[in-house]
Amino acid sequence: MLIVCLMFSCCQAASPVLNSPTLNLMPAPSQLTLQEGKFRLTNTFKIRVNGPGHIRFYAGTTRLLRRLDAKTGLFFAQNQITATDQDVNANCGITVKRAGKVVLNEDETYSLQVTPTSITLTAETDIGALRGYETLLQLVDSDETGYFLPAVQIKDQPRFPWRGLLIDVARHFMPVEVIKRNLDGLAAVKMNVLHLHLSDNQGFRIESKTFPQLHQLGSNGNYFTQEQIKEIIKYADDRGIRVVPEFDMPGHATAWFVGHPELASAPGPYTIERRWGILDPVMDPTKESTYTFLDAFLKEMTDLFPDPYFHIGGDENNGKQWKSNAQIQAFMKKKNIANAHDLQSYFNERILKILTKYDKRMMGWDEILQPGITKSIAIQSWRGKKYLYDAVQKGYPAILSNGYYIDLMHDTESHYLNDPLPADKQQQLSPEAEKLVMGGEAAMWSEFATPENIDSRIWPRTAAIAERLWSPGAVKDVADMYRRLDYVSLQLEYVGLTHETNYPMMLRRLTNGRDITALKTLVDVIEPVKEYTRHRQGTTYYTYSPYTLVADAARPDAKVAREFRNLVKSYKAKPTEQAATEITYWLNLWKNNHMLLQKTIQQAPALREIESLSADLATISQIGLEAVAYINTKKGISAVADGKQRGNTISPAAPAPNWYNTSLAALQAAKKPRGKTELMVVSGIEDLVKLAASK
Amino acid sequence: MLIVCLMFSCCQAASPVLNSPTLNLMPAPSQLTLQEGKFRLTNTFKIRVNGPGHIRFYAGTTRLLRRLDAKTGLFFAQNQITATDQDVNANCGITVKRAGKVVLNEDETYSLQVTPTSITLTAETDIGALRGYETLLQLVDSDETGYFLPAVQIKDQPRFPWRGLLIDVARHFMPVEVIKRNLDGLAAVKMNVLHLHLSDNQGFRIESKTFPQLHQLGSNGNYFTQEQIKEIIKYADDRGIRVVPEFDMPGHATAWFVGHPELASAPGPYTIERRWGILDPVMDPTKESTYTFLDAFLKEMTDLFPDPYFHIGGDENNGKQWKSNAQIQAFMKKKNIANAHDLQSYFNERILKILTKYDKRMMGWDEILQPGITKSIAIQSWRGKKYLYDAVQKGYPAILSNGYYIDLMHDTESHYLNDPLPADKQQQLSPEAEKLVMGGEAAMWSEFATPENIDSRIWPRTAAIAERLWSPGAVKDVADMYRRLDYVSLQLEYVGLTHETNYPMMLRRLTNGRDITALKTLVDVIEPVKEYTRHRQGTTYYTYSPYTLVADAARPDAKVAREFRNLVKSYKAKPTEQAATEITYWLNLWKNNHMLLQKTIQQAPALREIESLSADLATISQIGLEAVAYINTKKGISAVADGKQRGNTISPAAPAPNWYNTSLAALQAAKKPRGKTELMVVSGIEDLVKLAASK
């Protein structure tokens, strides 16, 4: 029973017990009142609609119906929802005033009332209704009698109007299906912007009919056709999500130059970049032909993308090509342009004119904020929150991405607590400046992500970012967030996201079809190394390298490891026998795992790189068992751990003189990354050792 | 150790030990000689190409390189393969004489020689080379030293030129990504035809620019644009796969009539059909306007699809609308057309003329074979092998689909042994007639399949059909087929197929996020009911019904159940203590599973429908344990089973007088389908009971 219980608490979604007014909802609604009773879902469930004749409304309501039926298997009688669904006896009434526009600041409020006999959802716009449908779906629970929704009264609206996800389709191309399933994921957590990073040194990912060599020579055939872009925009629009395109310029532009070397500041020919990093190629901002080209290109692209915002990147230009080009230097001298920064400002102003002509608001990374540039541009802060505040204080609307770089493999908590406008913020902003903080965007750069594993880098962590941007700032209980994250992560599977499903598949491939049990036990407690350290651990990665190894299968914020560390924390606070038993269960599992995994590794050469990591896990688990034994002895708890089995003379009663130091040394050694991954239970075991050694 | 061993043998791919000249290859090559030594794969692997300048060749070879690197994680230095990859020192040489054409009867032969120092692949066409690449990938194995390919000499070519899969995108629409990943699956097992069933009563699934109301009113928005069709054809062509379109007519055509009721034989209006079955609506073959319409429509579609074959369906017209239409009856009288059959022949002849005009060969289901129709048409036999032989004896080329209807949920073995031209065939065919047997097609009708579970209905069983159609007829060892099927099933995952990955996802949804261990133990030994019996078990299914229940998650040819039945067979043949122990392990697992599963079911209402099935599994497992105890006692083997725990007075030494009859009755009761699924271990336990009762 113990094991069953442990496994459940550690590997399953939290039991959907109604233990807090956040229920299983993510993002949490701004106002929720739990009431008496339950609305029973049965096959008599029926929807009545009263709303605008917009296809989005009926298609979205039909999807609600089908998803509800898929989840419960109740065989609802209604099929496609249309304007004729007006049965006054229907037990679910949906009222929408008008068709929304998929633009910034559209009304997304909704209210949802569930009573034991009816569900009533009202919204100003169908987009608000879509947000409410996700809440409705997350409310579905079950008990001995059947499926139900708890009686609640919810009034909800977003805190910030810009809640986005950037997907970098340039570094590794992400085909339409990856984009579509992630749009469904965004919709499920009420996000409303998909930012597509469409060009970079490593690829130009969209068909240009004006300059077809851009995609023909710059993509190795991996690009979106304009038809596909329209399909993506339509799919996003159906879900109330804006699509903001980004064409990074003047730097990050090698892929443009393969077909159009005349745009570059150094002579070609150019080939598609296969390396990662900040590279020299940059557009020549001094030639009129550059702007003639960009004018025609931007005309084409601004026609294709309906959103008023248009992102020009503008980051990480190292200026080297400008310095070594005599003509550019002469231009700068002549125009009195002091440095590369100012030259980029000049470039930005020119692009701004073009975009303004085509009725777009220019957006860029925080580097584009140069003195004097018009207030109509918008800033995306990536280098620090300081740049966000700088921008809004100077009167520029801005969004936060610093702290939301999900490719860096940080834990969910750090992203979750990264509030664009924290209640206790040091930086005092004027009310006007505060208003200019439009929201934020999770940024999924794809150097190390492929269609196979990108979902596991985006989800479920982005759901916590979605909550930060939607819910009131006061919703910040980390434990409750993690509880709900488990639940929402499962819901995200049902729209086709592969963050869970592809994990065992990648492990199976690594074992060449052998049993993955032992491998999974290890990979469940390791994470890919953080930040960009992966580049500095002895492997040179190229765009075409295999991203199918342990570091690519391992997932950020490893749940089992996190819960073990929490278990140790609660044991430190209150060293109960129950907690000791649970800790011992895990430590024994890990101690014995290496022997099993070694057999797999013998026949699976790709796993050799983590063999010593697995051995270290066994070693430190043994140390942890000894620590628990000492602690228990001190506390008068009978020893659960088999401390005596280690090859030394330590008795469980008292540590040997060197035990503390040798143990800490072993733990220190275990922290060393191997296979570009790191063990995430070391600090938990360190805590145990320190506790054992403390008086 | 026992358990580890059992689990491995039952849930994992067979260890890739080189125990037969089929190795892990599926389909097995026509000639393979195993030689001494191994070619070691390292990061020095390098490809040298000598072939036609066709993009298919270079793209296909690049995919080979990347898939090999993904599988081994070796970080090969080569990136895109181009004509410049000519290094004479490269250890993998590929020579292709010419670019193949993706048409029937194109040369697909290849030879592959692996020595300890080199790999050499030669083929007449790049399509043959693609077939060889799949063999090369399947040869990859690993040992303590690393990855390798065994030294082999292979000469290979297909037995039949037409090796296809029909995907019904009409009943449930299957988006582009479903088609693409299945094209990769087809390529992986050397199949070369994708047959798209594009229209039926329940949907018209392709954009028509000539008659846009066809898709606009006939699809609920679920159709392929012509751009998407081109994308699919290109994707297929890149893999040497033909795309054969089917527009079912004159019956199975309700969806056409929603936008064009004038085509029908009874007055409209029509709505998209939501029910399943054979329905009345049928085109009016007596009006000239029907042919004017179809001429324009077929002109458009024959332009879009490059393959010379064009499928017009022609099946299951019940003739009712014709009988009740006076005008049609008058037409028949006037033209001396005796019955509905002959009227359909008249229709077919008219369509044939149109298709011939557009340079297509007409193909249809076996109903279209009417006396006197031109020999240029091709027949797809679905009603029985007899129709295949009828066709070819009359001089019509034909393919077999009868026996390959994978939607019927039969086991792999039955499909595998269904040879279009078995060596011992009753029906003697002339050599000319034999030559007209072009091959066969697996048929994936999608009444009960959705994008979520269709892969698990197609794979891995279709790999065995692929072998039947590619490999020599003498390759028919069922046990060896199943061994290799386990291996190839894993390989099929790596191209993105979801037959394994979506299984636990669907179980997680059914438990609403609770532990799936007990549910999986049950569903691992059940299968969806066979044939179309699902329609006759108390539920009326519509197109929009939820296909997310246990029967939809359960998979045909349940591996654990099959291996248990085999275990019992080998125990009957030789009742060893080892076999008894293994059988007892499983029976105990199932006996105890119900208690665990009941807890899940309490909170998961969608599982109620299989609660009694789970109880029956426990009951019959207890019976099985008693049987093993009796058998062991008789054989002088000490009792392993805990037969005494059952609530009766039977001692392990001898069955009570009624034990045999009551046990058989319980087993009989356990055979009853519940939740549209059936227990697949009943016959195995019956065998044990009979063995226990035998003298």
Task: List, as one string, the DSSP characters of B84-126.
Answer: T---TT-SEEEEEEE---SSTT----EEEEE-SS-EEEEEEEH
Residue A336 has pLDDT above 70, yes or no: yes
Residue A20 has pLDDT above 50, yes or no: no
d(CA A37, CA A149): 9
Percent with pLDDT over 70 in chain B: 94
How is B513-567 classified by DSSP, letter by letter? Answer: TS--HHHHHHHTTEEEPSTTGGGGSS----TTS---SHHHHS-SS-HHHHHHHHH
> In B410-453, which residue ranges form alpha helices assigned H by DSSP?
412-416, 431-436
Residue B3 has pLDDT above 70, yes or no: no
d(CA A340, CA A319): 6
Report the residue of B12, B58, B81, B559 to disrupt the A interface, i.e. the one with the largest count of A CBs within 10 Å: B12
CA distance A177 to chain B (A): 6
For the annotated catalytic residues of A, the residue numbers are 316
Q: Is some CB atom of chain A closer than 8 A to the CB atom of B238?
A: no
Rg of the Cα trace of chain A? Answer: 28
d(CA A207, CA A227): 9
d(CA B355, CA B294): 10
**Mean pLDDT value across residues A237-246:** 98
At residue B682, the pLDDT reads 98
First to last CA, chain A: 34
CA distance A605 to chain B (A): 5
Q: Considering only residues 135 to 154 of chain B, which have any Cβ-Cβ distance to chain A shorter than 8 Å?
A: 141-147
Position A633 confidence tier, pLDDT thresholds 50, 70, 90: confident
Report the residue of A490, A497, A499, A511 to disrupt the B interface, i.e. the one with the largest count of B CBs within 10 Å: A490
Position A647 confidence tier, pLDDT thresholds 50, 70, 90: very low
Report the residue count for chain B.
695
CB atoms within 10 A of CB A458: 25
CB atoms within 10 A of CB B538: 6
How is B629-667 classified by DSSP, letter by letter? Answer: HHHHHHHTPPP-S-GGGSSS--BTTB--TTHHHHHHHHH
At residue A6, the pLDDT reads 35
Query: Which residue carries 């329940």 as its tokens?
Result: B202
d(CA A122, CA A309): 29
A391 Cβ contact list (under 8 Å, min separation 6): A366, A369, A379, A381, A397, A398, A436
Q: Which residue type, as a one-letter code, is found at position A58?
A: Y
Residue A406 has pLDDT above 80, yes or no: yes
B675: tokens are 């939740």
Q: Which residue type, as a one-letter code, is found at position B256?
A: W
Compare CB distances from A606 to B73, B494, B502 and report the shortest one's residue.
Answer: B73
Q: Are B133 and B61 in contact (CB under 8 A)?
A: yes
Residue A382 has pLDDT above 70, yes or no: yes
Burial A34-64 (b: 16+ CB within 10 A, else e): eeeebbbbeeebbbbbebbebebbbbbbbbb
Position A427 confidence tier, pLDDT thresholds 50, 70, 90: low
Q: Which class for A95: exposed (0-12), middle (13-18), buried (19 or more C-beta within 10 A)?
A: middle
Q: How many inter-chain contacts (A to B, CB under 8 Å) are there?
A: 159
d(CA B300, CA A204): 33
Position B637 confidence tier, pLDDT thresholds 50, 70, 90: low
Angle among Cα A507, A508, A513 to the nearest 5 degrees reads 150
Compare CB distances from B513 to A12, A513, A606 and report the shortest one's residue.
Answer: A12
Residue A27: asked if its preceding bond is cis (omega within 30°), the reply is yes
Q: Nearest 5°: phi and psi at A349? A: -65, -40
CB atoms within 10 A of CB A83: 12
Which of B497, B494, B144, B23 is closest to A507 using CA atoms? B494
Residue A298 has pLDDT above 50, yes or no: yes
Q: Considering only residues 491 to 510 of chain B, which have any Cβ-Cβ distance to chain A shorter than 8 Å?
A: 493-494, 496, 498, 500-502, 504-505, 508-510
d(CA A554, CA A558): 8
Q: Nearest 5°: phi and psi at A537? A: -125, 40
Lowest-pLDDT choice from B1-10, B164-173, B179-188, B316-325: B1-10
Report the residue of A510, A544, A602 to disrupt the B interface, i.e. the one with the largest count of B CBs within 10 Å: A544
Strand boundaries in A366-444, DSSP class E? 378-381, 398-400, 437-444
B83: tokens are 């004509």
Which of A336, A322, A21 is closest to A155 using CA atoms? A21
Q: Is some CB atom of chain B closer than 8 A to the CB atom of A262?
A: no
Whole-number Cα distances in Å, A106 to A103, A237, A310, A641: 6, 13, 18, 59
Query: Which residue carries 């008659």 as its tokens?
Result: B211
- B121-160 pLDDT, tens digit per residue, is 999 999 999 999 999 999 999 999 999 999 999 999 999 9
CA distance B612 to chain A (A): 16
Q: Are B464 and B481 in contact (CB under 8 A)?
A: yes
For the annotated catalytic residues of B, the residue numbers are 316
Q: Which residue type, as a one-letter code, is found at position A601?
A: I
Q: Which residues of B touch A70 (CB under 8 A)?
A: 509, 546-548
Residue A504: asked if its preceding bond is cis (omega within 30°), the reply is no
Q: Are B170 and B199 in contact (CB under 8 A)?
A: yes
Residue A402 has pLDDT above 60, yes or no: yes
Position B9 confidence tier, pLDDT thresholds 50, 70, 90: very low
CA distance B345 to chain A (A): 37
Residue A199 has pLDDT above 90, yes or no: yes
Q: Are A66 and A135 in contact (CB under 8 A)?
A: no
Mean pLDDT estimate for chain A: 93
Alpha carbon of residue B487 to chain centroid = 16
Q: Nearest 5°: phi and psi at A145? A: -85, -30
Q: Which residues of A touch B176 (CB under 8 A)?
A: 176-177
At residue B62, the pLDDT reads 98
At residue B2, the pLDDT reads 34
Residue A303 has pLDDT above 90, yes or no: yes
Fill in the DSSP letter of residue A243.
E
Q: Which residue type, as a one-letter code, is found at position A589?
A: L
**The complex's ipTM?**
0.94
CB atoms within 10 A of CB B111: 18
DSSP-based three-state secondary structure for B282: coil
d(CA A140, CA A133): 11
At residue A10, the pLDDT reads 33
Higher pLDDT among residues A634 and A214, named by residue: A214
Q: Is some CB atom of chain A closer than 8 A to the CB atom of B604?
A: yes
A431: tokens are 């009310």
Q: Identify the closest residue of chain A to B63 by CA–CA distance.
A: A544
Compare CB distances from A501 to B70, B144, B501 and report the shortest one's residue.
Answer: B501
At residue A3, the pLDDT reads 34
d(CA A33, CA A15): 21
CA distance B599 to chain A (A): 10
Whole-number Cα distances in Å, A392 to A161, A429, A471, B15: 15, 8, 22, 62
Fill in the DSSP letter of residue A574.
S
- B200-237 pLDDT, tens digit per residue, is 999 999 999 999 999 999 999 999 999 999 999 999 99
At residue A261, the pLDDT reads 98
**Mean pLDDT value across residues A141-166:** 97
Report the residue of A68, A545, A611 to disrupt the B interface, i.e. the one with the largest count of B CBs within 10 Å: A545
At residue A134, the pLDDT reads 98
Alpha carbon of residue A286 to chain centroid = 39
The 3 state secondary structure assigned to A35-48 is EEEEEECCCCCCEE
Compare CB distances from B69 to A147, A543, A546 and report the shortest one's residue.
Answer: A546
Does the distance separating the beta carbons of A146 and B605 come in below 8 Å?
yes
At residue A512, the pLDDT reads 84
At residue B17, the pLDDT reads 34
B425 Cβ contact list (under 8 Å, min separation 6): B419
B476 Cβ contact list (under 8 Å, min separation 6): B416, B417, B419
Fill in the DSSP letter of residue B261.
G
